Amino acid sequence: MQALTTHTGVVLPMDRANVDTDQLMPKQFLQRVERTGFGQFLFHDWRFRDDETEDPDFELNQPAYREASILLARDNFGSGSSREHAPWGLADYGFRVLIAPSFADIFYNNSFKNGILPIILPAEVVEDLFQRVYASPGMKFAVDLEKQELVTDDGLTINFEVPAERRQNLLEGLDEIALTLCMEDKIAAYEKSTSS
């Protein structure tokens, strides 16, 4: 998993509540089990028309947001089914940071496991960020996970909190497999002690 210490990127304002995993990664694209290659399908049913041409009204298809790597959303982002393909698609497209007043629990946990930082901020702070991004399309935020600080292009600084263990794993780029491998010596010692 790719570590995240600091990240600066263009912000995509997705002014929708309850964006579910079926919209993030529609069911017809769930036939693969590798984690890569899903970015092209992200928000497919919103990004593309029936004839597979881009819908110019969808946020991600607008020139100011095509290179976005930070997603700003409303309440309950990532609701719906527990499919891990949703954060796979976000990560593969290039999103590293998500900001919302709340996230669905399973999606929140899956985001950390896939190198994405979900930041929970009060609804009024999120509203202010939406207004700033709308006033300046293409605005960038700088996120520092070590300091737990977000800075907007126009100089606003916001502090946020991330659970300590999740924060440390993301700073070090450790997913569950890597965490297990970090304990390889202890596992080997335990196996040796129980084999006799």
| Per-residue pLDDT reduced to its tens digit, 1-23 | 889 999 999 999 999 999 999 99
Q: pLDDT digits over 81-107, tens only?
A: 888 999 999 999 999 999 999 999 999
CA dist 58 and 187 (Å) reads 49
* DSSP character string of 71-82: EEE-TTBTBSS-
**For the whole model, what pTM was predicted?**
0.89
pLDDT above 90 covers a percentage of the chain that reads 79
Please check the confidence at residue 53 and state whether its pLDDT lies above 80: yes
Q: For 6-194, give the CATH class.
A: alpha beta
Structure tokens at 9: 């990127």
Q: Where are the domains of the chain?
A: 6-194
Per the model's pLDDT, the better-predicted residue between 179 and 187 turns out to be 187
CA dist 28 and 2 (Å) reads 27
Q: What is the mean pLDDT of the chain?
A: 91
CA dist 109 and 21 (Å) reads 14
